[in-house]
Amino acid sequence: MLSGFWKKLKKPFTILAPMAEVTDVPFRAIVRELGRFTRTGSFGGRGGPDVFYTEFVSADGLASKGREKLIKNLAFRKVEKPIVAQFFGANPTHIREAAALARELGFDGVDINMGCPDRKVVKQGAGIALCKNPALAREIIAAAKEGAKNIPVSIKTRLGYGTVSLQWIEALLETEISALIVHLRTMKEMSKVPAHWELMEEISAMAHAKGTLAVGNGDVRDMNEVREKCVSYGADGVMIGRGVFANPMVFSGRDFSVLPPKERIAILLQHVRLFDEFWGTGKNFDVMKRFFKIYVSDWEGAKDLRIKLMEAKSAVEAERIISETPDTLLAPRQSSAGS
């Protein structure tokens, strides 16, 4: 049932989707900072989405010798609150322990990932594989509630495994969770087809009948779409994932493309330094390279600079490459050539 911070959110609200090797502390800091841009180009407000999620974390891993390494994925800053810890797994005992840990660490909510299509996750009976085992899914949710105690439990899932299954959605709603986030595709569809927003109206009605918030996920790229989708389909909020890659300023209502190259490079440098400070040698610097396309694109010298940055093996090397970049490669776009 609706409880905790969920019932205090102003609708329609936004959530930053949990993405493995993406939504860590450094990236969330950047998203929050960019979210503070107003339409007039100044800074103001909380910044970022209304709700942050961590990367999804293995409950089994937390119950193993790998706990010491994984625990860093549950780090967060107070300015990110409300923030939800997301876990995955098929062992109710481990889910209970993970939820209790989240409560002890000061998270505002616990979310169980029942939608991940990754083969390794599915093979262990977790993620969207739970769609085929609703009895275990109910057991896991009950365990999460037991561990979370006074903080709310939500579920993120997909429409089904091979085909759309509203019976799966109904089964989850019977467990009286606070919020249900639905990626509006099946596992089989992955992200190869448009999200089935036409089904969100029925899902929203089903959720509201149980006192649960309904959140849609898939193909939303700007705040106008957030409002449009929520009005059209009765959703309470929207979770945005890949849309942040297209526009990391999406939560501000502005487009990242309005920033000149030098400002984008400054943000890239900030991200690189945050990554280095937070992870040090604990994570391969190559993880940062997936972000270069976000910051370095859409101007004439962007491609050449990206090629050089992809050769960097550390934050120090990336900073050196940028410092040696001539102004001619940072000139505002005159045309789309070479971007």
% the chain with pLDDT above 90: 81
Give pLDDT, residue 63: 96
| Final residue before a domain boundary, out of 206, 237, 252 | 252
Residue 200: strand, helix, or coil: helix
Domain identity same for 192 and 296 = no
Domain identity same for 57 and 80 = yes
Considering 1-10, 28-37, 186-195, 232-241, the range whose residues carry the highest mean pLDDT is: 232-241
Q: Per-residue pLDDT tens for 178-207?
A: 999 999 999 999 888 999 999 999 999 999
The partner residues of 309 in beta bridges, in order of sequence, read: none
Domain identity same for 213 and 294 = no
Rounded to a whole number of angstroms, the CA Rg of the chain reads 20
Domain identity same for 120 and 159 = yes
Domain assignment present for 116: yes
Domain assignment present for 338: no
Domain identity same for 58 and 134 = yes
Asked whether residue 77 carries a pLDDT value surpassing 90, the answer given is yes
Domain assignment present for 337: no
Domain identity same for 62 and 90 = yes
Residue 84: CA count within 13 A, CB half-sphere: 31
Average pLDDT, the chain: 92
Asked whether residue 327 carries a pLDDT value surpassing 80, the answer given is no
Give pLDDT, residue 338: 44
Look at the block and give the residue holding tokens 């000061």. 106
Domain assignment present for 339: no
Domain identity same for 161 and 291 = no
Domain identity same for 17 and 153 = yes
Q: Kindly list the catalytic residues.
A: 116
Kindly indicate the confidence band of residue 168, based on its pLDDT and cuts at 50, 70 and 90. very high
| Final residue before a domain boundary, out of 252, 285, 304 | 252
Q: Per-residue pLDDT tens for 300-318?
A: 889 999 999 999 999 999 9
Structurally, the chain folds into a number of domains equal to 2
User: CA distances (Å), 139 to each of 93, 109, 157, 250, in order?
Assistant: 10, 18, 16, 37
Give pLDDT, residue 189: 92
pTM > 0.85: yes or no: yes
Query: Positive or negative CA dihedral for 156, 212, 200, 206?
Result: positive
Domain identity same for 277 and 153 = no
Asked whether residue 161 carries a pLDDT value surpassing 80, the answer given is yes
| Final residue before a domain boundary, out of 252, 267, 291 | 252
Give pLDDT, residue 46: 56
Q: Which domain holds residue 325?
A: 259-330
Domain identity same for 39 and 153 = yes
Domain assignment present for 234: yes
Report the CATH number at residue 130. 3.20.20.70
Domain assignment present for 335: no
Domain identity same for 275 and 243 = no
Which residue from 194, 247, 201 is spatially nearest to 219, judged by alpha carbons? 194
Domain identity same for 229 and 318 = no
Give pLDDT, residue 42: 45
Give pLDDT, residue 44: 46
Asked whether residue 129 carries a pLDDT value surpassing 80, the answer given is yes
